[in-house]
């Protein structure tokens, strides 16, 4: 029987609790700052409850995660960790030292892998329907600068870089089976916050140019992926959590002219959280891609 412990009842923890309730999966919660959580400390969890726990979801601020990882590492549970998997040198050392133990035990959460539009994009790329890859531009932004400014823990450190860039780096790996190399330039700026609220990075991998752009300053929710190749291009706009999503597949006309266009439309309903939780709970997730997570951290650290 599945029994989940949610650690942290912030935005992510509450979302996951809601989905678990919808799926009728039993859970308990732990949060030292939330009085109506089931527990406010690991020490207070009863032995009976601890024996029942099959899955743990760590949805805490970055600096709280290692103590929970150390506690549950040797217990017979599966562990979900919010992205990015690695946020400090200490965490990196922990994962590398315990890589054999965590291989099939830990899942790093990236819900955008479960978007219908991104899955379709990946399918088209896998079939090489747009030919040789030339360049890709990804943008992920919203208008939450003031919310971040008022946050007790988000408005410090790497800011939007730590928050949104991991999603785009993971999506790059998911779509192209590669991580950005040779970062030739990047730009970050604190327009309204103590931490960066705008960031752009550019890389080139074997003549394939990738540009990633994230910000809290778009004043509206904004997500776009543009991929151009020798035979055509893909243009994905929007995320279902914000509204309807479209994926345009433009087949190039030679030598020039209006391309033949296929449009894939997706409804404004976000299935990704439920899909990801089912994927995690049922144990279908593949062995942790630790090398990819280390690369994500190394890139973030450089920026």
pLDDT of residue 205: 87
Does 38 fall in a domain? yes
Q: What residue numbers bound the domain in which 134 lies?
A: 112-269+286-302
Are residues 251 and 167 part of one domain? Answer: yes
Mind listing the pLDDT tens digit for each residue in 154-197? 777 899 999 999 999 999 999 999 988 878 789 999 999 989 99
Question: How many Å apart are CA 106 and CA 70, to the nearest integer?
Answer: 12
Does 262 fall in a domain? yes
Helix (H, G, I), strand (E, B) or coil at 120: helix
Tell me the pairing of strands 3-7 and 55-58: parallel
Does 276 fall in a domain? no
CATH number, domain with residue 40: 3.40.50.720
Are residues 187 and 71 part of one domain? Answer: no
- Specify the pTM: 0.93
pLDDT of residue 116: 97
Does 116 fall in a domain? yes
pLDDT of residue 134: 98
Does 56 fall in a domain? yes
Nearest to 27 by CA among 77, 84, 70, 75: 77
Does 298 fall in a domain? yes
pLDDT of residue 153: 66
pLDDT of residue 33: 87
Task: Provide the number of structural domains found in the chain.
Answer: 2
pLDDT of residue 212: 97
pLDDT of residue 78: 95
CATH number, domain with residue 183: 3.30.360.10
Both structure tokens of 10: 């912030």
Does 96 fall in a domain? no
- pLDDT-flagged residues of the chain (< 70): 152-153
pLDDT of residue 104: 86
Are residues 252 and 166 part of one domain? Answer: yes
Does 106 fall in a domain? no
């Amino acid at each position: 029987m599945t029994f989940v412990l949610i650690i942290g009842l912030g935005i992510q923890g509450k979302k996951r609790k809601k989905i678990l309730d919808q799926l009728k999966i039993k859970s308990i919660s732990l949060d030292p700052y939330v009085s109506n959580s089931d527990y406010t400390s690991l020490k207070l969890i009863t032995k009976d409850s601890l024996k029942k726990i099959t899955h743990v979801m760590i949805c805490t601020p970055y600096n709280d995660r290692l103590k929970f990882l150390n506690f549950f590492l040797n217990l017979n549970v599966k562990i979900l960790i919010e992205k990015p998997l690695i946020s400090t040198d200490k965490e990196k050392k922990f994962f590398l030292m315990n890589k054999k133990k965590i291989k099939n035990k830990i899942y790093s959460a990236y819900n955008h892998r479960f978007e219908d539009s991104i899955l379709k994009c990946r399918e088209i790329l896998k079939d090489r329907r747009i030919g040789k890859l030339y360049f890709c531009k990804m943008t992920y932004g919203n208008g939450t600068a003031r919310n971040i400014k008022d946050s007790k823990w988000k408005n410090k450190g790497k800011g939007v870089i730590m928050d949104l860039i991991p999603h785009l780096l993971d999506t790059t790996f998911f779509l192209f089976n590669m991580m950005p190399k040779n970062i030739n330039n990047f730009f970050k700026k604190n327009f309204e916050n103590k931490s960066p609220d705008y960031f752009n990075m550019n890389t080139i991998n074997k003549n394939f140019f990738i540009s990633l752009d994230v910000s809290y300053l778009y004043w509206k929710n904004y997500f776009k992926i543009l991929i151009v190749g020798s035979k055509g291009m893909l243009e994905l706009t929007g995320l279902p959590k914000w509204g309807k999503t479209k994926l345009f597949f433009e087949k190039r006309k030679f030598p020039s002219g209006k391309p033949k266009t296929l449009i894939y439309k997706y409804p404004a309903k976000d299935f990704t959280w439920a899909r990801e939780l089912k994927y995690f709970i049922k144990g279908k997730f593949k062995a942790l891609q630790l090398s990819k997570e280390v690369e994500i951290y190394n890139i973030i650290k450089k920026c």
